[in-house]
Structure 1
Amino acid sequence: MTVQQGLRAASLRGLCGGAVHLPGDPAYDMARTPWNLRMSDNYPAAVAYPAFPEEVAEVVRAAAAAGLSVAAQGTGHGAPALEGRLGEAVLLRTSAMDEVRLDPERRTARVGAGVLWGDLSEAAGAHGLAALHPSSPDVGVVGYSIGGGIGWYARLLGLQCNVITAAELVLADGTFVRATADTESDLFWALRGGGTPVGVVCALEFDLFPIDSVVAGFLAWDWTCAEEVLPGWIAWCEDAPEEVTSSFRLLDVPDSESMPTQIRGRRLAMVDGAALGDDARAGDVLAPLRALSPEIDTMARVPAASLVRLHLDPEGPTPAYASSTLVSALPDAAVGAIVEAAGPHSGTRLAMAELRQLGGALSRPDPDGGVLSFMDGAFLALGVGLEPDPAGWEQQREDAARFLAAVEPWATREYLPMLDDRTDTRKAFPPDVHARLSGIRRTVDPQGLFMAPHLSPDPDPDPDPGTAPS
């Protein structure tokens, strides 16, 4: 940071009741470090911890007056796309906004921007309710929700972004608005799946579902069985009912006490997922997969709240890398290419090469939905690296690229929440959707105050007013 940048950032000192940290302050290094430790070498001009919308507004106004950008961040799972770009930005941490309010009769939740899915799932489960949560308990509710949200009930109930009923946010001029289908309807549309920089979301309200328990777990084989299991799972997916959502993974399980004993330190081919409905129905649905003779079968009825940990994703700060694409199909040629790129003889260093089952409700455009009203693909291909040694990070990126190249002939669109490399947002949305989203962003943030992880080119011939956040 230059002396001039430091002087500008100093104007924020004293805001948020003193919870603003500048370079050189004792708590600065801890404050700037996100969940994803691949971003540990980024040095924002300041880090602010507002606890209320009024404090968010103060930070936003002060940053604008100082000529600094603003990057809002909950947990920092998706931080890598901002790599190297925070030197003239205020990192606005939302973790202090931790309100959780449930209405069991109306089956709704109201959550602050700092709430994590593990906490919300536990609170909802106490009332026999479930949310459309992700596969990790320490992902932030707000970031996941406004980006899309593919959960374990997605094929029946759709995307989390489209069950949002209200959003409260602070705009670039410091004003506070509440967006619903009836008020600030353009903002409401943009916040459901766009993940675009239209403001700092302070709270969301959304629907919950009467799900108390579900049949869930995983089936596992040694990864040398991938050539037999993968085509069997793909064929099963073609006829699987919508009440089932699953994934197939080639998984390098860490030798860690946090992992179940029977899979610790192993390389596996795994199918995990959840089936709504009664036990008999679930048993019938899972029978073709069980006919493939899994070595391990943990599928059983479990509390719905436990599904937030079903995927065995790492918890706590972790150096992670993710890259993904939606694909229209996985024919035989794709199976061979996947196994070659990420299977037993590939030499891959990925922690997982994953294929998430889509279709069902995800494939049908929601007439009342937001930016992401459906998923343009039958599967999501996702490569994830969890290498602690920075010396191996480039190899992980290359291995993820090799895995995604295997399905490139069937690729459709990108899914931004699971993409750590910076990309052009036109690859994620249809042209008319992208144009509308860009127009809303230009209207509410004409100077580009908010930093966007991804490039959001202006569809108009005029220059983009600023590259600002998603």
Structure 2
Amino acid sequence: MLTERYRIMTAPLAALATRISGRVVTTSEPDWDSVRTGFNLTTDVRPHAVVLPAHAADVVQVVEHARAHGLRIAAQATGHNNGAHRDLTDALLVDVRDLREITIDADARRVRVGAGVRWQDVVPALSDLGLAALHGSSPLVGIAGYSLGGGMGWLARKYGLQTNSVTALEVVTADARLRRVDPQNEPDLFWALRGGNGNFGVVTGIEFEVYAVSDLYAGALFFPADSAQLVLRRWFGLAPRLPEEMMTWTSLIHFPDDPEVPGELRGRPFTVFHCAYLGDAQTGADLLRPIRDLGPVLDTFATVPPAVLADMAMDPPAPLPYLSTTALVDRITPQALDDLLDAVGPDSGSPLSLVQIRQLGGALGRQAPGAGARATIPGSYSVLALGVVAEAGDEGPVASYLARLDDALRPYRVGEYPNFVEQPGDASRFFTPQTWERLRAVKTAYDPGDLFQGNHHVPPLPHEQAVNE
């Protein structure tokens, strides 16, 4: 006889709930909305149910249940980038937030974490040990999802994408087997998972290499918003000469009028130059002199432990309703800069909260031996822009300015970085034709029934083609 807790569920879901240590959450539960909601509050993900596994054995049970009942599976940990999922009404959303074990082997420079661990859970401990991971701009992002899509952070020009520092993954595949996948064990699946997102199984654990960094020269220069053209023009002239030990970004930021924002920034727009340099302060300062000579109103540069990088981008700490766009560009010419600023610059009337431009190149453009499906990032710069939607249904102004930015960058586009793309679409555009076909072949080998729906979907090959191959 079903207990009262499970009586309001359908019988199959109630049966699943009794077989796992975690939870099954359905539309009738009081926390349904909070459980299914991701970081972007404009995204309305409505799965068949949400499952919160307590350990990897629960995920095995969920996969068996989905196969038996004709359901699909999508996985998430923190809900970042969940807008890229297709319709999930016939899918179980497996939220691995409770898989939070952490092991750090400082001597081997290896970390193993459960798939629910966020960067903020490991970065400070690594920093205390004189180690740095290849995390991105927000400490709230989950390590697993970030790594499966690529992972482009502060040290990427020197060490490449985080996904290619992954040394092993633990994943439950469509046959309901928990596998440890590494270069020696099922190397094709190991290759596909590193860049192919959650299309090949539910990752429950991830192991990765970290790097010896005791301190570095890092910080930000804040300029008045109307200095945007001067700062950007100087930076674009300087960037090609910078060493790959140095990662630089420049952003147009309109800080919210929020008590959490420092008083000198609160509610005001700025042009902000960011940098992290794996070198000494004097050399770093010499390299950046052309930017600093422009006269910032605030200079935060110092020799700092690597933990400081986690918050240096000042990403929002809580979920927000926003729209975004992104592009990888091969160059930004003087005309391109004029077009960009005409579209979304300080005199354009733009309501966008952020227009961020990251320098690429260095290790991001070189394919390392043994790299995964996301081996490199094309282009010279990555552009990401977003605007907060103040009221539900009032998306027009933000969408209009994002479209203006897209138009300005279109002649220079060479692709998109999938971790920044928050809408569903044809995922083949993120890969070369050869890589896409290999991803589909691995998908066919491990998930021919298309059980798993990654946030950028990789479908199996058609049956006839799979048979012939």
Report what 2:224 is aligned to: 222
Distance 1:382 1:461, change over 3 A: farther
- The Cα shift of 1:173 comes to 1.6
- Matched ranges for 1:384-395 at <5 A: 384-395=386-397
- The Cα shift of 1:191 comes to 1.4
- The Cα shift of 1:394 comes to 4.0
Report what 1:76 is aligned to: 79
Structure 1 CA distance for aligned equivalents of residues 72 and 464 of structure 2 = 21
Report what 2:25 is aligned to: 21
Note the residue ranges of structure 1 that are not aligned, 5 or more in a row. Answer: 466-470
- Matched ranges for 1:333-344 at <5 A: 333-344=335-346
Residues 132 and 160, structure 1, Cα contact 8 Å, conserved in 2: yes
- Matched ranges for 1:141-220 at <5 A: 141-220=143-222
The partner residue of 2:64 within 61, 64, 82 is: 61
Q: What is the identity, as a one-letter code, of the residue corresponding to 2:27?
A: P
Q: What is the identity, as a one-letter code, of the residue corresponding to 1:297?
A: D
- The Cα shift of 1:257 comes to 2.1
Structure 1 CA distance for aligned equivalents of residues 14 and 387 of structure 2 = 37
- The Cα shift of 1:110 comes to 0.4
Structure 2 CA distance for aligned equivalents of residues 35 and 175 of structure 1 = 30
Residues 196 and 458, structure 2, Cα contact 8 Å, conserved in 1: no
The partner residue of 1:133 within 132, 135, 141 is: 135
Give 3-state SS (helix, strand or coil) of 2:211's partner.
coil
| 1:42 partnered with 2:69 | no
Report what 2:6 is aligned to: none
- Matched ranges for 1:453-464 at <5 A: 453-456=455-458
Structure 1 CA distance for aligned equivalents of residues 191 and 278 of structure 2 = 29
Q: What is the identity, as a one-letter code, of the residue corresponding to 1:451?
A: Q
Per-residue CA deviation, residues 236-267 of structure 1 (Å, 9 max, x unaligned), is 11101111101111111111122222221111
Give 3-state SS (helix, strand or coil) of 1:391's partner.
coil
Report what 2:429 is aligned to: 427
Report what 1:468 is aligned to: none
Note the residue ranges of structure 2 that are not aligned, 5 or more in a row. Answer: 1-8
RMSD: 2.0
- The Cα shift of 1:18 comes to 5.1
Structure 2 CA distance for aligned equivalents of residues 38 and 31 of structure 1 = 15
Structure 2 CA distance for aligned equivalents of residues 89 and 326 of structure 1 = 32
Give 3-state SS (helix, strand or coil) of 2:180's partner.
strand
The partner residue of 1:94 within 96, 104, 114 is: 96
Per-residue CA deviation, residues 53-100 of structure 1 (Å, 9 max, x unaligned), is 1110101111221111111011001111226x1221111110110011
Report what 2:5 is aligned to: none
Structure 2 CA distance for aligned equivalents of residues 388 and 440 of structure 1 = 43
Per-residue CA deviation, residues 414-459 of structure 1 (Å, 9 max, x unaligned), is 1110001112112111110111011111211111111233354667
Residues 221 and 294, structure 1, Cα contact 8 Å, conserved in 2: yes
Q: Which moved more, 1:153-162 or 1:30-39?
A: 30-39
- Paired residue total: 459
Residues 219 and 297, structure 1, Cα contact 8 Å, conserved in 2: yes
| 1:30 partnered with 2:37 | no
- Matched ranges for 1:308-323 at <5 A: 308-323=310-325
Q: Which moved more, 1:358-367 or 1:383-392?
A: 383-392
Structure 1 CA distance for aligned equivalents of residues 390 and 10 of structure 2 = 32
Structure 2 CA distance for aligned equivalents of residues 20 and 238 of structure 1 = 52
Residues 26 and 49, structure 2, Cα contact 8 Å, conserved in 1: yes
Per-residue CA deviation, residues 208-262 of structure 1 (Å, 9 max, x unaligned), is 1111222111112122111211111111111011111011111111111222222
Q: Which moved more, 1:381-390 or 1:339-348?
A: 381-390
Report what 1:240 is aligned to: 242
| 1:12 partnered with 2:7 | no
Structure 1 CA distance for aligned equivalents of residues 322 and 194 of structure 2 = 25
Structure 2 CA distance for aligned equivalents of residues 132 and 230 of structure 1 = 26
Q: What is the identity, as a one-letter code, of the residue corresponding to 1:247?
A: W
The partner residue of 2:54 within 47, 51, 55 is: 51
Structure 2 CA distance for aligned equivalents of residues 386 and 463 of structure 1 = 45
- The Cα shift of 1:463 comes to 9.1
Residues 45 and 90, structure 1, Cα contact 8 Å, conserved in 2: yes
Distance 1:103 1:247, change over 3 A: same
Structure 1 CA distance for aligned equivalents of residues 198 and 342 of structure 2 = 36
- The Cα shift of 1:461 comes to 9.0
- The Cα shift of 1:104 comes to 0.6
Residues 99 and 115, structure 1, Cα contact 8 Å, conserved in 2: yes
Q: What is the identity, as a one-letter code, of the residue corresponding to 2:48?
A: A
Structure 2 CA distance for aligned equivalents of residues 256 and 145 of structure 1 = 31
Give 3-state SS (helix, strand or coil) of 2:267's partner.
coil
Residues 220 and 301, structure 2, Cα contact 8 Å, conserved in 1: yes
- The Cα shift of 1:464 comes to 10
Q: Which moved more, 1:455-464 or 1:326-335?
A: 455-464
Q: Which moved more, 1:59-68 or 1:394-403?
A: 394-403
TM-score by length of 1: 0.93
Structure 1 CA distance for aligned equivalents of residues 213 and 258 of structure 2 = 31
- Matched ranges for 1:280-295 at <5 A: 280-295=282-297
Structure 1 CA distance for aligned equivalents of residues 221 and 460 of structure 2 = 46
Report what 2:401 is aligned to: 399
- The Cα shift of 1:180 comes to 0.7
